[in-house]
Amino acid sequence: MKKEAYDDFSRDYDRFVNWEERLSAEMPFLLEKLQSTAPEKGRPVRVLDAACGTGMHAIALAKAGSRVSGADISKEMIRAAKEHARAARLDVDFKTAGFGTLTEAFGSSSSYPFDSIICLGNSLPHLLSQDAILGALADMAKCLRPGGYILLQNRNFDAVMVEKNRWLGTQSYKEGTREWLFLRFYDFDPDGLITFNIIRLHKDGNEPWTQQESVTRLFPLKQEILLPLLKKAGFHQISYFGQMGNGAFDRMTSGNLVITAVKK
The answer on 138 and 91 residing in a single domain is yes
The answer on 118 and 205 residing in a single domain is no
The answer on 258 and 213 residing in a single domain is no
Find the domain containing 87 and state its range. Answer: 3-157+221-263
The answer on 126 and 110 residing in a single domain is yes
Write down which residue in 201, 218, 235 finishes a domain. Answer: 218
Please report the pLDDT score of residue 247 as a whole number.
Answer: 87
The answer on 174 and 135 residing in a single domain is no
Write down which residue in 218, 239, 254 finishes a domain. Answer: 218
Based on the structure, what is the number of domains in the chain? 2
Which CATH number covers residue 192?
Answer: 2.20.25
The answer on 229 and 189 residing in a single domain is no
The answer on 70 and 94 residing in a single domain is yes
The answer on 177 and 136 residing in a single domain is no
The answer on 235 and 207 residing in a single domain is no
Please report the pLDDT score of residue 219 as a whole number.
Answer: 98
Please report the pLDDT score of residue 80 as a whole number.
Answer: 97
The answer on 187 and 96 residing in a single domain is no
The answer on 60 and 121 residing in a single domain is yes
Please report the pLDDT score of residue 5 as a whole number.
Answer: 74
Q: What is the DSSP string of the chain?
A: --HHHHHHHHHHHHHHS-HHHHHHHHHHHHHHHHHTT-SSTTSPPEEEEET-TTSHHHHHHHHTT-EEEEEES-HHHHHHHHHHHHHHT---EEEE--TT-HHHHHTTSTTPSEEEEEE-SS-GGGS-SHHHHHHHHHHHHHHEEEEEEEEEEEE-HHHHHHH---BPPPEEEEETTEEEEEEEEEEE-TTS-EEEEEEEEEEETTSPPEEEEEEEEE----HHHHHHHHHHTTEEEEEEESSSSSPPP-TTT-SEEEEEEEE-
Please report the pLDDT score of residue 2 as a whole number.
Answer: 64
Mean pLDDT by 10 residues, the chain (264 residues): 77 94 95 84 91 98 96 97 97 97 97 97 96 98 96 98 94 96 97 96 96 94 98 97 90 96 96
Please report the pLDDT score of residue 246 as a whole number.
Answer: 74
Please report the pLDDT score of residue 173 as a whole number.
Answer: 96
The answer on 143 and 56 residing in a single domain is yes
